[in-house]
Amino acid sequence: MKRAFIIFYTTLFSLFLIYGLFPVSSAEAKVSGLCANCHTMHNSQNGTSVLITGTGTGWNSSGVLSGGSLQSAPAETLLVTTCVGCHSSTTSSTIINTGGSQIPIVYNTVVPTNPLAGGNFHWVATDDTRGHNVYGISGQDSLTQAPGKTLGSCANSCHTSLAQAPGANNSNRGGCRGCHVFTSHHDDSRLWYRFLKGHNATSAELPIPPSAADTSDYVVGDEDDDWEQETAIDHNWYKGTTTAYSPGAGLQNHQTITAFCSGCHGIFHGPQTNGYGMGSGSPWVRHPTDIALPQGDGSEYAQYIPATNYSTQAPVAWTDPTNTSNRGTPIVMCLSCHRTHGSDQPDMLRWNYSGMIAGTTGASAGTGCFTCHTTKDGS
Ligand code: HEC
Ligand code: HEC
Ligand code: HEC
Ligand code: HEC
Ligand code: HEC
Ligand code: HEC
């Protein structure tokens, strides 16, 4: 009796820990910790600059920002370094805990252990094909524009390269901010999943007006509190849709992660017109995305039930990702196969595509493509 009582209260306490201290919300981006971790009031200490930028900048094993070189010009909002600098580490850790701050690392100068959900820029620093080439990490590769570049969008901008320095072509953004167009490190009230916000399809003109921050073209999702450093307990939930749409106002109208990627790679999604798009049913002409993963119909896909047996080999999006009691229908998305920042594979894929052999009973059976196409391996 007493034992059951204790278990009851222990369970209640754990529930409190899970839901009380870490409320399930769609955006948990707010930073914590010492102001001095991230800000410098005058960019001067003992007469020397504090701001560090450039190659080699990153948090070291003592939790100190080091490497790079000192920059005498101060930065906007009084920051001690750039986007790349603060999200980098010279260790293999992908979360740095220092002075009360918890910093997600997306670029490790050495091979990262447990890369976060977006993967890592480590590999693209030495091999162009393994990630997005972004300013501050790697120069422009042989690609002169985003493959499958969205029609009609501005010609010389983030749609053509994310490796350009901030300037007039990218509204003083470029690099990280080509995708994370608006950021809000101190504000949890923004509903943008991981600061993924477009610049308003109806005002494509540069410079991007500040008012674009208030439009509805952002990604919806439920954010895992450790950015999927571990996936055994919980994971991210991304928005997807079963409604067909063409690139343009896709992000505004559907708020899916696939519509976000399609902002730059628009030709790879949508109904087929003049060689563009994926089609609208089988037989498809490009791999479909933002379509339902068939469930419960006995087909090859029905053997993968993400609601009860989610696989990080082939994650899916959901029609109602923030509804914790019923996330809705599982959806094929761009991130079912790709990592967004970079990976150890060509085309920033989640697994070794050249190891996917139809009819195999070897090591790749049940992995990668076969997670969904369960009847195409030999097992
Ligand atoms: C001085 C340090 C610092 C700088 C500079 C900085 N960030 Fe961050 N950023 C953080 C920390 C710390 C977090 C984690 C906040 C938290 O605990 O959720 C974060 C979180 C993020 C996230 C994830 C948000 C989420 O929902 O989890 C993104 C995306 C991001 N930053 C992008 C950027 C971009 C783009 C820039 C440049 C405009 C930038 N950061 C500059 C420290 C920094
Ligand atoms: C702001 C524009 C933009 C967005 C948004 C964008 N990309 Fe890209 N992408 C590019 C550009 C430019 C290139 C070509 C240069 C390079 O490789 O970085 C590219 C290249 C790629 C490549 C090929 C990499 C290589 O070097 O072979 C893949 C794969 C890719 N993107 C996937 C995605 C996915 C998945 C998303 C959504 C999470 C996405 N992209 C969102 C601009 C974008
Ligand atoms: C091509 C678009 C793109 C570019 C460029 C990009 N990001 Fe991201 N970023 C994303 C997406 C999409 C996610 C969400 C990934 C997920 O949840 O699977 C993300 C997630 C993050 C996170 C949360 C950690 C994680 O892995 O989920 C941080 C921090 C972050 N980005 C920082 C940066 C920084 C710093 C840069 C520049 C060095 C950058 N991003 C460049 C698209 C991009
Ligand atoms: C972990 C890093 C981090 C810490 C700690 C931090 N900040 Fe910030 N702060 C940022 C970043 C990054 C920005 C840039 C705004 C953005 O990109 O979202 C910022 C912007 C600001 C801004 C201007 C924009 C806004 O949101 O109001 C103020 C004011 C500010 N910080 C004050 C503080 C104060 C005061 C402290 C200490 C109590 C503090 N910050 C601690 C990272 C941090
Ligand atoms: C997240 C689950 C998922 C993953 C991972 C996945 N697929 Fe698919 N694939 C689907 C679904 C669902 C369809 C649409 C089936 C339909 O319309 O009947 C599809 C369609 C296809 C088609 C076109 C079929 C047709 O009827 O036109 C091919 C070919 C294909 N996939 C190959 C692959 C390959 C190769 C891989 C690995 C690189 C892969 N898929 C990974 C779910 C997935
Ligand atoms: C079913 C798995 C799968 C899905 C879903 C998927 N891709 Fe790919 N993607 C691949 C594979 C595999 C390659 C390697 C080349 C090939 O076979 O086309 C690739 C290559 C690419 C490239 C590089 C093309 C080049 O010319 O180098 C880009 C860009 C890209 N994908 C973007 C996207 C975007 C954007 C989405 C969502 C609209 C998406 N992918 C959805 C599997 C996928």
Provide, rounded to the nearest whole percent, the portion of the chain with pLDDT above 70.
92
CA distance 129 to 314: 21
* Ligand 4 centroid – CA 57 distance (Å): 20
Q: pLDDT tens across 63-72, in order?
A: 999 999 999 9
Tell me, using a 6 A CB cutoff, whether residue 173 lines ligand 2.
no
With a pLDDT cut of 90, the percent of the chain lying above it is 84
What was the pLDDT predicted at 21? 38
**Mean pLDDT of all residues in 159-185:** 95
The answer, yes or no, to whether residue 12 has pLDDT greater than 80, is no
As a whole number of Å, the end-to-end CA separation of the chain is 49
pLDDT at 63: 97
Does any ligand 2 atom lie closer than 6 A to the CB of residue 320?
A: no
Ligand with minimal distance to 27 CA: 1
Probe residue for ligand 5, chosen from 345, 372, 376 as the CB with the greatest number of ligand atoms within 8 Å: 372
Tell me: pLDDT of 297 over 60: yes
Q: What is the model's pLDDT at position 298?
A: 86
pLDDT at 240 over 70: yes
- Inter-residue contact 225 to 231 (CB < 8 Å): no
Atom 16, ligand 6: which residue's CA is nearest? 347
Distance 164 CA to ligand 2 centre (A): 14
pLDDT in tens, 185-222: 999 999 999 999 999 877 667 899 999 999 999 999 99
Q: Give me the pLDDT at residue 156, please.
A: 85
Higher pLDDT, 238 or 207: 238
pLDDT score, position 11: 41
CA of 373 to the centre of ligand 6 (A): 17
pLDDT of residue 203: 64
Cα 173 from chain centroid (whole Å): 18
Give the ligand 1 atom nearest the CA of 33. 12
What is the whole-number distance in angstroms between the Cα of residue 128 and the centre of ligand 2?
11
Give the residue with greater pLDDT, 249 vs 283.
Answer: 283
108-167: per-residue pLDDT in tens? 999 999 999 999 999 999 999 999 999 999 999 999 999 999 988 777 899 999 999 999
Lowest mean pLDDT among 4-13, 55-64, 233-242: 4-13
Can you give the pTM of this predicted structure?
A: 0.95
- Ligand 1: which atom is nearest the Cα of residue 82? 5
Q: Which atom of ligand 3 is nearest to the CA of 104?
A: 29
Kindly tell me if the per-residue pLDDT of 267 is higher than 80.
Answer: yes
Q: What is the pLDDT of residue 18?
A: 39
Q: Is the pLDDT of residue 169 over 50?
A: yes
Q: Tell me the average pLDDT of the chain.
A: 91
CA distance 38 to 99: 10
Mean pLDDT of 212-236: 95
CA of 293 to the centre of ligand 5 (A): 9
Which of 133, 31, 135 lies closest to 80 in space, CA to CA? 31
Tell me the best of 30, 34, 38 to mutate to test the pocket of ligand 4, counting ligand atoms within 8 Å of each CB and taking the most: 38
CA–centroid distance, 330 to ligand 5, in Å, is 14
Give ligand 6 pocket residues (Cβ under 6 A). 147-148, 258, 261-262, 265, 268-269, 287, 289, 332, 334, 336-338, 347, 349, 353
HEC secondary structure over 81-142: CCHHHHCEECCCCCEEEECCEEEECCEECCCCCCCECCECCCHHHCCHHHECCCCCCCCCCC
Residue 3 pLDDT greater than 50, yes or no: no
Q: Check pLDDT > 60 for residue 342.
A: yes
